[in-house]
Structure 1
Amino acid sequence: MVQPSFPVVTESDAQLPLYLTSIGHWEDQERTVRPEGFPDYQWLQAIDGTGELAVGGVTQLVKPGQGFFLNSNEPHAYRPLTHPWGVHWIAFNGSLMPSLMRQAGMERSGVYSLSDPESIILHMKTIYAMSLTGRPFLGMECSKLLYAFLLDLVSKVRMNAPSAAHNSLKLQPVIQFIEENCHRAMTIGELSGCIGVSPQYLCQLFKSTFKMRPMEYVNRERINKSKELMFHDPSLKLQDIAVRVGFDSPSYFSSVFRKIEGVSPEHFRSFGYSP
């Protein structure tokens, strides 16, 4: 057994978007039954042996390389089916969790397969080591590592899904076309023609892969290009930048910029990109 870590969560730590509550590693995980659930979110990563998770009225096998996510306060139970059942575990909380898990498609507790479980285990080992240091602002340091861990977990779970990986690969010609042509007007027909599908199907692919419509993606690419121009040539007028990145009017450029960035282009430039 590896000694688990339970870092002190201060009042300021609990205000962070993400914060660590406990972390550890059982070389042979025992049977655990929680009729009232657990107060924090959890991720348990199986490294050897086979176990079983019961949650939400469903029982699932947990094989090596798989992990399972548990929502806070949800009744659950898990147990080994073979010995030893080695498991890394981490518990965490924070206001960011619901939206982050929703984006990952992991709103429900259950078992998930990963495209690269070793990288997730490395994250967990790094967080565990940090949690034992007792260094100043430990909560913030663990929060930063936890955020990186969860982002990586999200990507490894999503990319392991055959449909997600296939869609991402299929859309690469469209993404490249957008990057090369966002300085001019583009139609949904041009984009769908890059991969020989209908505009309606292209919209489905973008929504399932990026959670946005194709032209929303185009506008985000244009805004990114506009920020690059502000940085590299501070003397450029905003109306000239709007034209260079494919907007037909400065007012529409400003409207889209504010919607995406939360500030106007003038304000963004004033943050330090003006001469």
Structure 2
Amino acid sequence: MLYQFHSKEFSQTLPIQLWMFGANHLQEPVRRPQGVPYFQWFYCVKGQGELILDEQRSIITKGQGFLIYPDQEHIYQAVTNNWTLHIIAFNGPLCSDILALLQMGESGAYHFSDGSIFEQHIQKLLWLYENRSSDQTLSYSKECYDFLLDLSRCITRTHEFTYSHENPFVLKVISWLEENYARPISLNELAETVNLTKDYMCALFKKNTGETIIQCLTSIRIGHAQQFLIQYPEKKVIDVAQMCGFDSPSYFGKTFKNIVGMTPERYRKNG
């Protein structure tokens, strides 16, 4: 389950501030060519996934996690269908300095000698969320700082990266799809962008990734839909469908269920 916060919920600006957190989140595929405007820490509860940063891949299993800095291109996605993560995201004017001092100066995969640390802080955040007080901004900030202090004592950087087979052509296609997923697009338009014929482009993409461009686009759209269903509980499912490039609500519902295994309404309720 994801818990998203907004700036209007905070009464003051602090050196480090909670942005969102997630507890036992069944992770959907994420491809972000421009990154996000906040820091993200992840811990693997179960299953197996992969992290791709700077065209390098690392496998993430139970007892491991990863850190992603703001505005950094990244991809992470499940290798097994039960890849489940805890997530804590934060930002603030002193985050970079604090992380550097705590030996977390760069994005990447990390091994945890004590996985209970992440679990303990997730439970504390859940408690704070369920017992909101007038000084919640300060409480969340203190918890983020305590989390980072505790984490620094039980992590070591994992260096066993292997080069990602996703070549610049594939990354360019995925980046374009990620930037344009919310609107109607055509393969002809994409072919012009990458300066190839449509047939050759499609064949080359399928050869390198094992999936079609349309399958990739659908995965991107559904991934964003999963995020938006939780992030914007006030929006109707039909509105989320349109935000993600689906003109037909029925097709969106069918596609969502085929990929996620449940309807958008059930996913939102479970999240």
Q: What TM bracket, shorter-length normalisation?
A: 0.5 to 0.7
Task: Report the alpha carbon displacement of residue 96 of structure 1 after superposing the two structures with TM.
Answer: 2.0
What TM-score, normalized by structure 1, do the two folds share? Answer: 0.54
Report the aligned-residue RMSD: 2.0
Q: 2:73 aligns with which of 72, 75, 82?
A: 75
Distance 1:13 1:34, change over 3 A: farther
1:240-259 aligned within 5 A? none
* Contact 2:24/2:45, CA 8 A, preserved across alignment: no
What TM-score, normalized by structure 2, do the two folds share? Answer: 0.54
Q: 1:98 aligns with which of 63, 75, 96?
A: 96
* Contact 1:50/1:85, CA 8 A, preserved across alignment: yes
1:120 matched residue in structure 2 = 118
Distance 1:81 1:156, change over 3 A: same
Distance (Å, rounded) in 1 between the aligned partners of 2:5 and 2:129: 6
Residues matched between the structures, number: 158
Q: Deviations over 1:14-57 (max 9, x none)?
A: 62011101111244211111111011100011010111000122
* Contact 2:23/2:122, CA 8 A, preserved across alignment: no
Distance 1:27 1:155, change over 3 A: same
- Secondary structure of the equivalent of 1:119? helix
Q: 1:36 aligns with which of 34, 38, 42?
A: 34
Distance (Å, rounded) in 2 between the aligned partners of 1:14 and 1:27: 29
Distance 1:45 1:14, change over 3 A: farther
* Contact 1:24/1:128, CA 8 A, preserved across alignment: no
* Contact 2:38/2:71, CA 8 A, preserved across alignment: yes
Q: Which amino acid aligns with 1:74?
A: Q
Task: Report the alpha carbon displacement of residue 119 of structure 1 after superposing the two structures with TM.
Answer: 1.7
2:144 matched residue in structure 1 = 146
* Contact 2:42/2:86, CA 8 A, preserved across alignment: yes
- Secondary structure of the equivalent of 1:140? helix
Gaps (5+ residues) in structure 2? Answer: 159-271
* Contact 2:44/2:64, CA 8 A, preserved across alignment: yes
4+ runs deviating over 6 angstroms:
none
Query: Percent identity of the aligned residues?
Result: 30
Q: 1:108 aligns with which of 106, 127, 133?
A: 106
Distance (Å, rounded) in 1 between the aligned partners of 2:11 and 2:155: 28
2:129 matched residue in structure 1 = 131
Task: Report the alpha carbon displacement of residue 6 of structure 1 after superposing the two structures with TM.
Answer: 1.9
* Contact 1:66/1:111, CA 8 A, preserved across alignment: yes
Q: Deviations over 1:195-222 (max 9, x none)?
A: xxxxxxxxxxxxxxxxxxxxxxxxxxxx
Gaps (5+ residues) in structure 1? Answer: 162-275
Larger radius of gyration: 1
- Secondary structure of the equivalent of 1:106? coil
